[in-house]
């Protein structure tokens, strides 16, 4: 457990509404990541951050934005949710002098 908390854990929302998912860490790690998990695709990187206000796009960033105004929080926003964004979203961190990622428990998002 790397002190990662995702909220909410489950959410159902309507198409076209904005949605924000939160990832909170307690250990001040520099690197944070948002992935989505879909059957047959494994985990795909949406956005990542390498410091406060330093973020970059991953392989499936369209329709998503992120913000990191504090070291401990990394927010993922769906500006206008679509059914194709129904997925399980995982936040991860990487310790500065390590190689592997540590994952949160995931957020199951359903867009109806």
**Which residues contribute to the site for another protein (CB under 8 A)?**
31, 33, 35, 40-45, 48, 50, 58, 90, 92, 94, 99-106
Looking at the Cβ atoms of 11 and 44, the one nearer to another protein is: 44
CB of 86 to another protein, least distance (A): 17
Pairing of strands 10-13, 64-70: unpaired
CB of 25 to another protein, least distance (A): 13
Calpha distance 13→19 (Å, rounded)? 8
Quick check: 69 and 53 in contact, CB under 8 A?
yes
């Amino acid at each position: 457990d790397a002190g990662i908390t995702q909220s909410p854990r489950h959410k159902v929302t309507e198409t076209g509404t904005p949605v924000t998912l939160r990832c909170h860490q307690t250990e001040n790690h520099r690197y944070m990541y948002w992935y989505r998990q879909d059957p047959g695709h494994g985990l795909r990187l949406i956005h990542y951050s390498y410091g406060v206000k330093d973020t970059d796009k991953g392989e499936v960033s369209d329709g998503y934005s992120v913000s990191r105004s504090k070291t401990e929080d990394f927010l993922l926003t769906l500006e206008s949710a679509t059914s194709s964004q129904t997925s399980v979203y995982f936040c991860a961190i990487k310790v500065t002098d390590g190689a592997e990622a540590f994952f949160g428990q995931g957020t199951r998002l359903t867009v109806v």
